[in-house]
């Protein structure tokens, strides 16, 4: 058993990871400023309200608690928002991560798993599958902020100060299969929750953003990954750092996806089947900044973490999300 600090543990992926950590027997401290998270999503561990920008509070926290590792989720995630408010994103995501890393260094906490994203790759419609080593060309401040933190982790690992694993998520979706927690972004911008809101009559329709992409049906293709599969990968990653600590520092980055992409149309059709509800679909122009296709080469994580997606087939993913979302206000 290890004591794990989880900044951002009240958010969507964080709260599911907290459940998985608890089920694996770990002791958890969730640290979240609730700017986007929900305190009632924290179903295990101790909850402390606080910001990763608050160095004094982090100092007290690390002094009082014997932390073995950090799983860092605390970040703003809306790519579109990041274009409008880059400073907010750089402050929270980059300066916040630096403040957290400084507190870790001061208290000699060496292990960190970092929430990264496929957005570090940018617009690579020329590639079928994106592997970890391709050039990082983010196309928005959100992607840049995540890549900057990865660079900090890599450089600190080179000095021997830390052991880090960055997990680059593709399209996180799904919900706890027992329906205890799920995705609750305000406002919601992600495709699957919006489709299901159209199915339950909370929205008049679902809009398809772009039908002229160079894909078989003209709509964007994404690699959707179930949040429970993501959560399991975080447990594996942190346990790997704890079981095989490097004294000279280590940094590794892994894609978390399925290597299988679905188009917007395919997701909508599957959602109509799963819910048994027909709803209006409206074709619109492209949303600025959307790459046509983002699909992971997920072979590295399979080999390094001995991890496979188990609930990320489209039907299971939609069924789990529907079970949670249909009862949401
Ligand atoms: N889409 C629609 N209609 C909608 C909402 C979305 O057609 O109402 C389309 C988008 O244009 C896109 C696809 O559905 O082609 C998926 O869009 P999401 O907003 O659900 O997700 P994104 O692919 O834009 O981004 C997500 C995360 C990012 C992360 C990225 C990695 O929000 O943080 O996945 O693949 F970087």
What pLDDT was estimated at residue 245? Answer: 85
For strand 111-117 and strand 163-169, is the pairing parallel, antiparallel, or unpaired? Answer: parallel
The domains found in the chain, sorted by start residue, are 3-173+224-256 (3.40.50.720), 191-223+258-296+310-325 (3.90.25.10)
Among residues 90, 142, 169, 213, the one annotated as catalytic is 142
Residue 89, ligand 1, Cβ within 6 A: no
Using most ligand atoms within 8 A of CB, pick from 222, 257, 260, 289 the residue to mutate for ligand 1. 222
What pLDDT was estimated at residue 76? Answer: 96
Known catalytic residue: 224?
A: no
Distance 190 CA to ligand 1 centre (A): 6
Distance between CA 94 and CA 105 in Å, rounded?
16
What pLDDT was estimated at residue 246? Answer: 86
Nearest CA to 262 out of 219, 227, 301, 298 is that of 219
Specify whether the CB–CB gap between 174 and 123 falls below 8 A: no
What pLDDT was estimated at residue 77? Answer: 93
What pLDDT was estimated at residue 99? Answer: 98
Instruction: Work out the burial of residue 285: count CB atoms within 10 Å of its CB; fewer than 13 is exposed, 13-18 middle, 19 or more buried.
Output: exposed
Residue 208, ligand 1, Cβ within 6 A: yes
Residue 323, ligand 1, Cβ within 6 A: no
Distance 14 CA to ligand 1 centre (A): 19
What pLDDT was estimated at residue 298? Answer: 97
> What does the angle CA 70 – CA 52 – CA 157 come to, to the nearest 5 degrees?
45
Please identify, by atom number, the ligand 1 atom nearest to the C-alpha of residue 169: 31
**Three-state SS annotation for the chain:** CCEEEEECCCCHHHHHHHHHHHHCCCEEEEEECCCCCCHHHCCCCEEEECCCCCHHHHHHHHHHCCCCEEEECCCCCCHHHHHHCHHHHHHHHHHHHHHHHHHHHHCCCCEEEEEEEHHHCCCCCCCCCECCCCCCCCCCHHHHHHHHHHHHHHHHHHCCCCEEEEEEECEEECCCCCCCCCCCCCCCCCHHHHHHHHHCCCCCEEEEECCCCCCCCCCCEECEEEHHHHHHHHHHHHHHHHHCCCCCCEEEEEEECCCCCEEHHHHHHHHHHHHCCCCEEEEECCCCCCCCEECECCHHHHHHHCCCCCCCCHHHHHHHHHHHHCCCC
What pLDDT was estimated at residue 235? Answer: 98
Place of tokens 């789990």: 320
**For each of the chain's 329 residues, which pLDDT tens digit applies?**
999 999 999 999 999 999 999 999 999 999 999 999 999 999 999 999 999 999 999 999 999 999 999 999 999 998 889 999 999 999 999 999 999 999 999 999 999 999 999 999 998 888 999 999 999 999 999 999 999 999 999 999 999 999 999 999 999 999 999 999 999 888 899 999 999 999 999 999 999 999 999 999 999 999 999 999 999 999 999 999 999 888 899 999 999 999 999 999 999 999 999 999 999 999 999 988 788 999 999 999 999 999 999 999 999 999 999 999 998 88
Place of tokens 């929430």: 115
Residue 209, ligand 1, Cβ within 6 A: yes
Distance between CA 325 and CA 329 in Å, rounded?
9
What pLDDT was estimated at residue 291? Answer: 87
Greatest alpha-carbon pair distance for the chain in Å reads 57
Render pLDDT for 239-249 as a digit per residue (tens, 0 to 9).
999 998 888 99
What pLDDT was estimated at residue 172? Answer: 97
């Amino acid at each position: 058993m290890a004591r794990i600090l989880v900044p951002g543990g009240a958010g969507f992926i964080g709260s599911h990871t907290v459940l998985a950590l608890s089920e694996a027997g770990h002791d958890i401290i969730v640290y979240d400023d609730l700017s986007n998270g929900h305190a009632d999503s924290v179903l295990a561990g101790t909850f402390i309200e606080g910001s990763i920008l608050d160095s004094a509070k982090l100092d007290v926290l690390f002094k009082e608690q014997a932390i073995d590792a950090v799983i860092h989720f605390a970040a703003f995630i809306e790519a579109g928002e990041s274009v409008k408010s880059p400073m907010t994103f750089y402050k929270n995501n980059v300066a916040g991560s630096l403040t957290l890393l400084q507190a870790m260094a001061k208290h000699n906490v060496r292990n960190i798993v970092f929430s990264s994203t496929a957005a570090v790759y940018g617009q690579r419609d020329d590639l079928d599958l994106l592997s970890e080593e391709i050039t990082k060309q983010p196309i928005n401040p959100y992607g840049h902020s995540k890549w900057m933190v990865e660079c900090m982790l890599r450089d600190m690992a080179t000095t021997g100060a830390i052991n880090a694993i960055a997990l680059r998520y593709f399209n996180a979706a799904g919900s706890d299969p027992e329906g205890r927690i799920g995705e609750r972004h305000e406002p919601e911008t992600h495709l699957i929750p919006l489709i299901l809101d159209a199915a339950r009559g909370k929205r008049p329709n679902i809009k398809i953003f772009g039908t002229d992409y160079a894909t078989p049906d003209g709509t964007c293709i994404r690699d959707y990954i179930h949040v429970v599969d993501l959560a399991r990968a975080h447990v594996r990653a942190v346990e790997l750092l704890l079981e095989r600590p490097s004294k000279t520092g280590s940094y590794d980055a892994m894609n978390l996806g399925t290597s299988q992409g679905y188009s917007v149309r395919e997701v909508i059709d599957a959602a109509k089947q799963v819910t048994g509800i027909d709803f209006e679909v409206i074709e619109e122009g492209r949303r600025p900044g959307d790459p046509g296709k983002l699909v992971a080469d997920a072979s590295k994580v399979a080999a390094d973490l001995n991890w496979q997606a188990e609930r990320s087939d489209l039907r299971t993913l939609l069924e789990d999300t529907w079970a949670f979302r249909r009862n949401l206000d």
